[in-house]
Amino acid sequence: MASKSNTAQSTTTRSTTEKAFQSIIIDDEGRACADIPESACKQEPGNFFKHVGALALTKSADGLIDPKLVLSWLMTSLGAPVALIGLLVPVREAGALLPQLLTAGFLRRLQRRKWAWAVGSLVQGLAAATIGLVAITMTGAAAGWAIVIALAILALARSICSVCYKDVLGKTIDKSRRGTATGLAGSIASVTVIIYALALSASLFDRMTLVTGGLFLAGAAWIASALLFATLQEQAGATEGGKSALREAWKNFSYLRDDHQLRRFILTRGLLTATALAPPFMIAVGSQAGEGYGRLGFLVLASALASLLSSFVWGRLSDRSSRKVLIFAATVAAIILAATSWLAFAGTLGGGYILPVLLFGLMIAYQGVRLGRSTHLVDMADKDTRAAYTALSNTIIGLLLLAGGLFSLVANWFGGEMVLAIMAGMSGLAISAAWGLAEVQRTQE
């Protein structure tokens, strides 16, 4: 009797999951799977919600620990040297991308890469909790170095997750629904970050307590996502064992030589790094002295609202044409950055609500870039090249982000207004680059 009861309960759960899945996908042509095998298609509804849940948790954690905003404020409050504070964004961004070209070779040997992703998420959670402990036990340069080292470990773990995620997504979710899954996760995560941002803006709690609590909450979210992701039903995939990391790296570069579309995609993504690098310069040319903590709350809130209002829409549009999403996002970014630069040169950027509106608009474009390029890369590659394409693309972008430190020199010599003008030009060039991308969502005849 107990066995029959458990079977009936399992059937009811699957039926409920299937109905919820269908209501979200809204697929008038039926739920046929064109890009994954039938065995994976049967598991897709449950896997869909596990992807959404795990990704929502990690995106929430990212917002709570944001190095550009939260960790910068924390290190300043702890009295860490400015030079160490300046390492936060390069360590976080480049550290998450540069190792991928070498780690991809090892990860290719795993038939089920969900385990690597789960371990990476677990390590990120422990690293975030470590930063929280540093915040309540250390000060000065020692605290600064400890945070930078913990962030470097977090970034390395994130690089492993990044290599594995797109491949697992491609094996478990059909190509017509991948953008929807990632977009929905972004919208859900933004609610958590919005609540956090409102708390920061209202200053109802002690500032250090609130920021430290956010770090521990981020750690818990990463650990929970690891546990959830480990329950995915992932089919065994292709492996290429016995190759050294350097040999695999050389093979990855051969893809860059042979695939024109991959080169154009990386060019487009490289130009659109302007959307990630611009916000600090926008704040620098428009902010007033003495707004430190209030500005922190506003920045987190603006970013979260942009994600909430745009992620799901960008995701759905990416499932139809990630190429057009990149073109439109680049256009929005070019207009906003050009307007910001012009207003900054005119000396009118700091008045009223001009800067908040411009920053919010840029964050909308940034979300489009993130979802558009992620969906485009997964759909452009196949199961045998997806991990290599991801690692190669992310490594090159990591190098470009490191080179982005040169913008600080430009700002020092010519002002932040000139930096924003250059970034507007980069976004404009990205429109042309994205125009030549293939429509990878079209079903091949």
pLDDT at 320: 85
**Domain residue spans of the chain:** 45-233+241-435
287 and 276 in contact (C-beta within 8 Å)? no
- In this predicted model, what pLDDT tens digit does every residue of 42-63 receive, in sequence order? 666 667 778 888 889 999 999 8
Instruction: Please check the confidence at residue 347 and state whether its pLDDT lies above 70.
Output: yes
Q: Looking at per-residue confidence, does 22 or 360 come out higher?
A: 360
| Least confident residue range of 115-124, 243-252, 338-347 | 243-252
pLDDT at 14: 54
Q: Looking at per-residue confidence, does 250 or 285 come out higher?
A: 285
pLDDT at 397: 84
| Least confident residue range of 21-35, 192-206, 230-244 | 21-35
Query: Is the alpha carbon torsion for 259, 265, 269, 271 positive or negative?
Result: positive
The candidate with the shortest Cα–Cα distance to 283, out of 264, 303, 269, 257, is 303
Instruction: Please check the confidence at residue 351 and state whether its pLDDT lies above 70.
Output: no
pLDDT at 138: 92
Max Cα distance, the chain (Å): 78
Interacting residues of 29 by C-beta distance below 8 A, sequence separation 6+? none
Report residue 272: phi and psi, to 5°.
-80, 5
pLDDT at 362: 92
Tell me if the pTM is above 0.85: no
404: enclosing H helix or E strand: none
pLDDT-based confidence at residue 189 (cuts at 50, 70, 90): confident
pLDDT at 176: 65
pLDDT at 177: 72
Amino acid at 233: Q
Taking all residues of the chain, what is their mean pLDDT, rounded to a whole number?
79
- In this predicted model, what pLDDT tens digit does every residue of 286-331 receive, in sequence order? 754 344 445 677 777 877 788 778 877 888 888 888 899 999 999 9
pLDDT-based confidence at residue 350 (cuts at 50, 70, 90): low
Instruction: Please check the confidence at residue 185 and state whether its pLDDT lies above 50.
Output: yes
Instruction: Please check the confidence at residue 248 and state whether its pLDDT lies above 70.
Output: no
d(C-alpha 415, C-alpha 146), whole Å: 32
pLDDT at 134: 95
pLDDT at 143: 93
For 45-233+241-435, CATH number out of 3.20.20.70, 3.40.50.1820, 1.20.1250.20, 3.90.650.10 equals: 1.20.1250.20
pLDDT at 290: 40
Instruction: Please check the confidence at residue 147 and state whether its pLDDT lies above 90.
Output: yes
Q: Looking at per-residue confidence, does 269 or 2 come out higher?
A: 269
pLDDT at 32: 55
Instruction: Please check the confidence at residue 69 and state whether its pLDDT lies above 50.
Output: yes
Instruction: Please check the confidence at residue 40 and state whether its pLDDT lies above 80.
Output: no
Q: Out of 155-169, 341-355, 378-392, give the one with best mean pLDDT.
A: 155-169
| Average pLDDT of the residues in 405-423 | 81
> Please, what is the angle between helix 114-137 and helix 207-229, to 10°?
160
d(C-alpha 411, C-alpha 199), whole Å: 32
Instruction: Please check the confidence at residue 423 and state whether its pLDDT lies above 90.
Output: yes
Interacting residues of 19 by C-beta distance below 8 A, sequence separation 6+? none
Instruction: Please check the confidence at residue 372 and state whether its pLDDT lies above 70.
Output: yes
